[in-house]
Amino acid sequence: MARGGRNKRRMCPTTPDSPDRLPAPGDQPRILIVGAGPTGLGAGYRLKELGHTGFTIVDRSGHIGGLASSFTDDAGFTWDIGGHVMFSHYSYYDRIFDRLMGDDFTLNNRESWVRLMDRWVPYPFQNNVRYLPPEIALECLSGLIKAQTGRGKIASPDHARNFGEFIDAVFGEGIARVFMRPYNFKVWAHEPEMLNKAWIGERVATLDIDRALRNVVLQKDDFGWGPNNQFKFPLFGGTGEFYRRFGPVLEGHVQLNRSLVSIDVDRKVASFADGTGEPFDHLLSAVPLDVLCTKILTGEVPARVREAAARLLHSSAHMVGIGIRRPCPSTKSWMYFPEDNCPFYRVTYLSNYSPNMTPDKDRCYSLLCETSESEFKPVNRDTIVEETIQGLENAGLLEPGERRDIISTWHHRADYAYPTPSVDRDEILSQVIPWLEQRGIHSRGRFGMWKYEVSNTDHTLMQGVEWVNHLFLGEPETTIGLRYQATGDGLDGAVHERARVAGSGEKRALHAATDPIPTPGDIDEAHLSEEELGITNRP
Ligand SMILES: Cc1cc2nc3c(=O)[nH]c(=O)nc-3n(C[C@H](O)[C@H](O)[C@H](O)COP(=O)(O)OP(=O)(O)OC[C@H]3O[C@@H](n4cnc5c(N)ncnc54)[C@H](O)[C@@H]3O)c2cc1C
């Protein structure tokens, strides 16, 4: 890990860039933003940059940042709601980060591993099967070759009807059995058959079988990470520090501890738990879309809209932080756990991201462990902390006797953690989103748009920015149609494309939906956000 900041940058200003274009004075629509997470903050930042003053951001919690918030416990350990790795796809996002964070960040080398069969397998899994016992490596390779030559259980990714079949078609039965299927169930808390395959891109994923073979025969390591695969992290205060720094920029616009309880869609009035009401012309909502449609909207709402939204699936997640008084034993960033000897799907050495994540950088380290939950995968909230510690021992992360050096445990349950890209998700969105748009209600963000593939912090912040650009400058919102594409090397690139089924129902957007793929976004070569799914295959 290196201290960030190659160039001296301006520190923490109180205003964004000079306005690009000001709306006509006295002609500003009333804008209400619900949710002070990255989506709402991105929108607010851009509105301020454009010189728009008539907007309010409300959040029911007492702090800004949403799921990208961080918390420091009594022992002095700082925790995120899940290991947040910032792989930005956008130069606009990078500029905001530079402006708000200055030099206050670290630059970290990614080092990710898979733990199974009592050993560490470097990531990506399919290129490193030589680390497995020989008979399992053979099973994986043979399945991969069959799948990639059309002789597998599913003839090709095109024939796959869902994510489960896609896994079989791309990786073959061996890798599916050993890693992809168990791992994905642990992450999503839903069987892979319940997920669609569109969220990873519709194009055929071709894995390099020569490379996989060569690595086994020649006993070569093939890591998907290294010095060129770096990510930034706030020097102090965890992931949430970046979002906290929007506070002074948006001063006077943010109202915390204010919970939206209803929206009268006919009168365009929002009502809050404190008994107040607010009329709006445009409302940006980062509230989970199912909650918005089934519990918050009042007035003439068609049953089909409510029923469709109610079919959206999501998973919850338990974040368990373990603070240990020992020097950190590893340089790893994060690790994936497909096996059932531990409850978590991923563990992050959070203290490796910044020296200020523990009370003493030389004597303490911290592990952040994530366990998913759903009706198909229940979790005992009372015992999850103990199960996590036991799991760390089973998986070889905690050495025998190390348990007594645990000086802090932290537990946070995120009710809405992963928006499940279910098989009927896009059909649901195509019914719900256009109807809302026509009423000035714009649902965006991780759970507002429910598109996992564009729900990392950079995507969601930019969903807010692009929404403002669409409203005032008529620009298309390319992110909510972002689609990953396969390259010859596996799933390794992204194109920004207007989604054909999801997104805005406005004329301009519908027109855009039928256009050919527009110019890619700010940054051509993009990191995949699906790190945790074990599907990336970076050279
Ligand atoms: C386990 C996990 C791991 C992640 N890892 C990464 C990662 O590695 N990299 C990355 O870039 N991103 C990661 N993310 C995603 C990141 O956290 C999200 O992109 C981001 O927080 C979404 O922002 P948002 O504004 O859309 O929604 P949220 O952050 O969910 O914010 C929504 C806000 O709306 C408020 N709200 C809800 N209902 C109401 C109401 N009725 N009234 C008023 N306010 C309301 C909430 O309090 C909340 O503050 C991860 C997320 C999770 C859960």
pLDDT per residue as tens digits for the range 59-113 = 999 999 999 999 999 999 999 999 999 888 889 999 999 999 999 999 998 899 9
Residue with tokens 């520090």: 241
Q: Look at residue 431 in the predicted model and tell me its pLDDT.
A: 87
- Statement to judge: residues 172 and 196 lie in one domain: yes
- Give per-residue pLDDT as tens, 481-522: 744 344 443 333 333 343 332 222 222 222 333 333 333 233
Amino acid occupying residue 506: E
Both 306 and 319 in one domain: the answer is no
Q: What's the pLDDT score for residue 208?
A: 83
CATH number reported for the structural domain that contains residue 415 in this entry: 3.90.660.10
Within this chain, do residues 427 and 415 fall inside the same structural domain, yes or no? no
Instruction: Calculate the alpha carbon distances from 341 to 1, 319, 344, 396, 412 in Å.
Output: 31, 18, 9, 11, 22
Q: Is residue 527 in a domain?
A: no
The answer to whether 26 and 231 have CB atoms below 8 angstroms apart is no
Q: What is residue 27's predicted lDDT score, i.e. its pLDDT?
A: 76
Angle between helices 134-148 and 209-217 (to 10 degrees): 160
**pLDDT given for residue 515 in this prediction:** 35
Q: Is 538 domain-assigned? A: no
Calculate mean pLDDT across residues 360-375: 98
Most confident of 154-158, 237-241, 521-525, 534-538: 237-241
| Strands of 31-34's sheet in order across | 254-255, 55-58, 31-34, 282-285, 441-443
> Which structural domain range is residue 130 located in?
125-222
Q: Does residue 128 contact residue 215 with C-beta atoms inside 8 Å?
A: yes
pLDDT at position 266, please? 96
* Spacing, Cα 532 to ligand 1 middle (Å): 17
Atom of ligand 1 nearest to the CA of 447: 26
pLDDT band at 377 (very low <50, low <70, confident <90, very high): very high
Mean pLDDT of 19-29: 63
Instruction: Please check whether residues 430 and 497 belong to one and the same domain.
Output: yes
For 260-292, the pLDDT digits (tens) are 999 999 999 999 999 999 999 999 999 999 999
The predicted pLDDT at position 483 comes to 42
Q: Is residue 242 a contact partner of residue 235, using CB atoms and an 8 Å limit?
A: no
Residue partners of 376: CB distance under 8 A and separation at least 6:
189, 190, 191
Residue 529 lies in a domain: no
Q: Residue 499: CB within 6 Å of ligand 1?
A: no
Residue 453: pLDDT band with limits 50, 70, 90: confident
For residue 432, give the CATH number of its domain: 3.50.50.60
Residue nearest to atom 1 of ligand 1 (CA): 82
Which H, E and C letters describe 53-116, residue by residue? CCEEEECCCCCCCHHHCEEECCCCCEEECCCCCECCCCHHHHHHHHHHHCCCEEEEECCEEEEE
Domain count, the chain: 3
Higher pLDDT, 379 or 520: 379
**Predicted pLDDT at 413:** 98
Whose Cα sits closest to atom 12 in ligand 1? 456
Q: Is residue 393 part of a domain?
A: yes
Q: Is the CB of 36 under 6 A from ligand 1?
A: yes
Name the percent of the chain in helix, strand, coil, to the closest 5.
Answer: 35, 20, 45
**Banded pLDDT at 20 (limits 50, 70, 90):** low
Predicted pLDDT of residue 21: 55
460 CB near ligand 1 (under 6 Å): yes
Domain boundary among 398, 419, 440: 419
User: What is the pTM for the complete model shown?
Assistant: 0.88
Atom of ligand 1 nearest to the CA of 259: 42
Q: What rounded mean pLDDT belongs to the chain?
A: 85
Closest-CA residue, ligand 1 atom 36, reads 35
The pick from 32, 456, 480 for probing ligand 1's pocket by mutation, whose C-beta has the most ligand atoms within 8 angstroms, reads 456
CA-closest residue to ligand 1 atom 33: 35
Is 445 close to ligand 1, i.e. is its CB under 6 Å away?
yes
Is residue 79 situated within a structural domain?
yes
61 lines ligand 1 (CB under 6 A): yes
Kindly calculate the radius of gyration of the chain based on its CA atoms and give it in whole angstroms.
23
Pocket mutation for ligand 1, best pick of 457, 463, 529 (most atoms within 8 Å of C-beta): 457
Q: Is the CB of 288 under 6 A from ligand 1?
A: no
